């Protein structure tokens, strides 16, 4: 395995993790990394669409960063577990991204 590889909570053997990385199914890129990349490459592309809301890559990124800053100001720090109980609404996605930047876990 290479440095920086994520091992999912000891669920998989080293061989299984290597198999997924070697084939490109897993990468060391995090969810916030993906949103940063997509926001830079195609900022105006819609990312979240529901009946009343359309949010672009850059809007989701900016909002998630603000929510992450708010979580940090409330004392949520890296590695903490956070319960999120929201319906399948845009706010859930924004919170999920924000927790990635706060490096906390959603349960």
State the pLDDT confidence band at 107, using cuts at 50, 70 and 90.
very low
pTM (whole model) above 0.85: no
pLDDT at 94: 92
For the chain, the structural domain boundaries read 29-106
Q: Which CATH fold would you assign to the domain 29-106? A: Rossmann fold (3.40.50)
Give the tens place of pLDDT for each residue, 3-57.
555 555 568 888 888 899 999 998 888 888 889 999 999 999 999 999 989 999 9
DSSP string, the chain: --TT----TT-S-HHHHHHHHHTTSS-S--HHHHHHHHHHH-TTSEEEE-SS-EEEHHHHHHHHHHHHHHHHHTT--TT-EE-----SSHHHHHHHHHHHHHT-EE-
């Amino acid at each position: 395995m290479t440095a920086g590889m994520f091992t999912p909570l000891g669920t998989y053997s080293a061989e299984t993790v290597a198999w997924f990385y070697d084939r490109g199914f897993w990468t060391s890129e995090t969810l916030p990394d993906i949103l940063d990349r997509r926001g830079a490459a195609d900022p105006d592309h819609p990312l979240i669409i529901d009946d009343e809301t359309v949010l672009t890559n850059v809007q989701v990124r900016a909002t998630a960063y603000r929510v992450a800053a708010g979580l940090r100001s409330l004392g949520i720090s890296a590695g903490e577990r956070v319960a999120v109980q929201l319906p399948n609404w845009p706010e859930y996605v924004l919170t999920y991204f924000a927790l990635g930047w706060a490096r906390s876990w959603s349960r």
